[in-house]
């Protein structure tokens, strides 16, 4: 975690706030683990985080580690900077990644590599943990890169 | 037991608009713009503004009902209603809520309105300046996903890919709006015609389907409609526009956070359109004119599909300019210029254009139009849509 690889996006973007509902996820990413909500009542996966299981209404939701790999469900390549920190740093790629080993829940992240690369729906991707150690408090984002 | 419906129970008696301005160019305060639009709608209807007893709006409108009531000396406020959801998803719901109020007897004379001075307040196309973000945004904004254009782009990418729809279909939607605006003195983009080559050469906002001209403007102004019970339809200054159907909401878990709606590549109208047609006792083939809210042209495409107006597999062939232009197109679309080229008044201007089409006073009149579909902001949650008709369509 000491060597910071080149980040997907420049510094200065908003940081995720620490909140009771989502804290276990961010604790997980700091440790290089991808954890997703899973219901102890019915076993269903759930993302984004919520207080109740949308299937069985159990409040007993666990956080379970899942393999950090998925496939691209959709994507976009913003060219217009929507935040001052992005001025001069476009385009970049946002991907929606579904996790087949977690009930096909979907996560949003950036796709690493050439920002002008061709992107294929259904392409296999793996997670890359991107630490923001200088932040107060520090946090780690989950980014994605194409496998192979 | 009588049928539970709004069909034919309420009419739009009057419409009012301020001039429409480019973003930040309104000479007046946002609340003053709202007052002007409300008074114009009352004047158009021939109804004393003091008779208004309700206000309905959406999108977090800042011009509060109580302030309007006090400022205008409203005798008695009986209905005030803010519809949840951002942007223009609630535009048709606001009209439907007003109609429900007057039909149920909660009120007699309700204004549905929207007022926007985006120069006075924050723009929509930029992210928040906050240092930290919470809730769903914590999983989006750190990845540079902040603006409405970005929030919806991946739905469109997926829909286009699933159905093999080409960008020319979206281009036709943009060209139709710009074409109609050239004939509309109110349109902000009048005198700024758009052709296919200019569209194709325009810069990317978000690849692969948001060119500059696929995205709505940001504008200043206000617009209002006055809704009264149908019993008053024959005492009005104007030809009444009957509400035939109104529906709002969204399909199963369409608001599931962080882009997890099970049916993702959607404008969220699958159930809403069904409910709308059931109330109106009409189908897509019965509609003479369509006003479909353009936040982004890809959303228009999906909302047309989900309202049964075009099948995905025929979108490439059907969505060409000649089919979308008044007066002769098979499906005249956004006949005042819409959000792209008349004004981005969060779709209230499209409700008003629907009324004009039924009165026969539109700039790009569809001859003999007796039914109009208005589709509110697609891809947000909740969404809403509306069918208006002449007395002959009842
Ligand atoms: Zn459960």
Q: What is the ipTM of this complex?
A: 0.97
Partners of residue B79 on adjacent β-strands: B54
Helix (H) or strand (E) holding B161: helix B148-163
- Supply the DSSP string of B226-270, one letter for each residue: EEEEGGGGGGSSS--EEEEEEEEE-STTTT-TTT--SS-SS-S-H
Question: A19 vs B135: CB contact, 8 Å cut-off?
Answer: yes
Q: Name the minimum distance, in Å, from the CA of A122 to any CA of chain B.
A: 11
CB contact under 8 A, B143 and A47: no
The predicted-structure confidence for A52-108, as pLDDT tens digits, reads as follows 999 999 999 999 999 999 999 999 999 999 999 999 999 999 999 999 999 999 999
Task: Find the catalytic residue in B58, B178, B213, B344.
Answer: B344
Among B134, B258, B259, select the one facing A17 at the smallest CB separation: B134
Residue ranges and CATH numbers for the domains of chain B are 10-119+216-389 (3.40.47.10)
* Residue B257: per-residue pLDDT: 97
| Segment A6-54, tens digit of pLDDT | 799 999 999 999 899 999 999 999 999 999 999 999 999 999 999 999 9
Q: Which of A17, A76, A109 sits opposite B150 (nearest CB)?
A: A76
Q: Whose CA is closest to A147, among A79, A95, A78?
A: A95
Distance (Å) of CA B215 to CA B102, B205, B210, B218, B282? 35, 8, 7, 10, 31
Shortest distance between the Cα of B214 and any Cα of chain A, in A, equals: 14
The pTM of this model reads 0.96
Percentage of chain A with pLDDT > 90? 95
- The beta-carbon neighbor of A17 closest among B132, B154, B256 is B132
Please give the share of chain B, as a percent, with pLDDT higher than 90. Answer: 94
Average pLDDT over residues B83-102: 96
Sign of the alpha-carbon torsion through B288, B334, B126, B147: positive
Query: Would you call A14 and B150 a contact, using CB atoms and an 8 Å cutoff?
Result: no
- Residues B175-189 have a mean pLDDT of 98
Nearest to B46 by CA among B233, B242, B185: B233
Q: How far apart are CA B41 and CA B241, in angstroms?
A: 14
* CA angle, residues A137, A140, A142, in degrees to nearest 5: 155
Using CA atoms, how far residue B106 sits from A9, B80, B184, B214, in Å, is 53, 10, 37, 41
Size of interface A-B (CB pairs under 8 A): 133
Contact assessment for residue B293 and residue B285, using Cβ atoms and an 8 Å cutoff: no
Give the pair of three-digit tokens for residue B156. Answer: 């469109």
Residue ranges of domains in chain A: 23-146
Instruction: Give which of B155, B180, B221, B226 is closest to B383, Cα–Cα.
Output: B155
């Amino acid at each position: 975690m000491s060597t910071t690889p080149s980040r997907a996006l420049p510094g200065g973007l908003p940081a995720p706030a620490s909140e009771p509902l989502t804290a276990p996820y961010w604790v997980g990413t700091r440790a290089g683990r991808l954890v997703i909500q899973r219901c102890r009542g019915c076993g269903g996966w759930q993302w984004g985080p919520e207080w109740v299981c949308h299937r069985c209404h159990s409040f007993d939701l666990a956080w379970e580690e899942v393999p950090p790999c998925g496939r691209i469900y959709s994507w976009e390549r913003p060219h217009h900077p929507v935040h001052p920190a992005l001025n001069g740093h476009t385009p970049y790629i946002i991907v929606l990644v579904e996790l087949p080993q977690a009930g096909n829940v979907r996560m949003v992240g950036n796709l690493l590599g050439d920002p002008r690369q061709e992107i294929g729906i259904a392409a296999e991707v793996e997670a890359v943990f991107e630490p923001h150690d200088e932040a107060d408090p520090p946090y780690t984002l989950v980014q994605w890169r194409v496998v192979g | 037991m009588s049928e539970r419906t709004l069909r034919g129970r309420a009419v739009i008696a009057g419409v009012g608009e301020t001039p429409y301005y480019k973003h930040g160019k309104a000479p007046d305060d946002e609340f003053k713009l709202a007052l002007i639009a409300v008074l114009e709608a009352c004047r158009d209807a021939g109804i004393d503004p003091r008779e208004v007893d309700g206000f309905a709006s959406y999108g977090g409108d800042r011009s509060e009902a109580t302030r309007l009531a006090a400022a205008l000396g409203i005798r008695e406020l009986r209905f005030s209603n803010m519809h949840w959801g951002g942007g223009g998803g609630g535009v048709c719901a606001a009209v439907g809520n007003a109609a429900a109020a007057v039909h149920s007897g909660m009120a007699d004379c309700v204004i549905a309105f929207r007022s926007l001075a985006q120069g006075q307040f924050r723009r929509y196309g930029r992210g928040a300046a906050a240092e930290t973000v919470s809730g769903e945004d914590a999983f989006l904004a750190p990845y540079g996903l902040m603006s409405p254009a970005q929030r919806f782009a991946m739905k469109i990418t997926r829909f286009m890919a699933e159905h093999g729809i080409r960008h020319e279909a979206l281009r036709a939607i943009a060209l139709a709006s710009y074409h109609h605006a050239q004939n509309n003195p109110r349109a902000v983009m009048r005198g700024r015609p758009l052709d296919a080559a200019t569209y194709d050469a325009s810069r990317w906002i978000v690849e692969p389907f948001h060119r500059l001209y696929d995205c709505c403007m940001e504008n200043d102004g206000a617009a209002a409609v006055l809704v009264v019970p149908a019993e008053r339809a024959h005492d009005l200054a104007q030809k009444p526009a009957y509400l035939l159907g109104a529906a709002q909401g969204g399909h199963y878990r369409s608001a599931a956070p962080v882009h997890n709606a099970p049916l993702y590549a959607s404008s969220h109208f699958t159930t809403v359109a069904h409910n709308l047609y059931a109330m109106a006792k009409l189908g897509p083939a019965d509609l003479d004119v369509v006003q479909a809210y353009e936040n982004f042209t890809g959303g228009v495409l999906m909302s047309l599909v989900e309202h049964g107006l075009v099948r995905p597999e025929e979108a490439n062939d059907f969505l060409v300019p000649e089919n979308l232009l008044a007066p002769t197109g098979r499906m005249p679309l956004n006949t005042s210029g819409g959000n792209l080229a008349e004004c981005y008044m969060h779709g209230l201007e499209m409700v008003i254009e629907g009324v004009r089409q039924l009165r026969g006073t539109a700039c790009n009149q569809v001859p003999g139009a007796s039914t109009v579909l208005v589709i509110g902001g697609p891809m947000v949650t909740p969404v809403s849509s509306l069918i208006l008709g002449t007395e002959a369509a009842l």
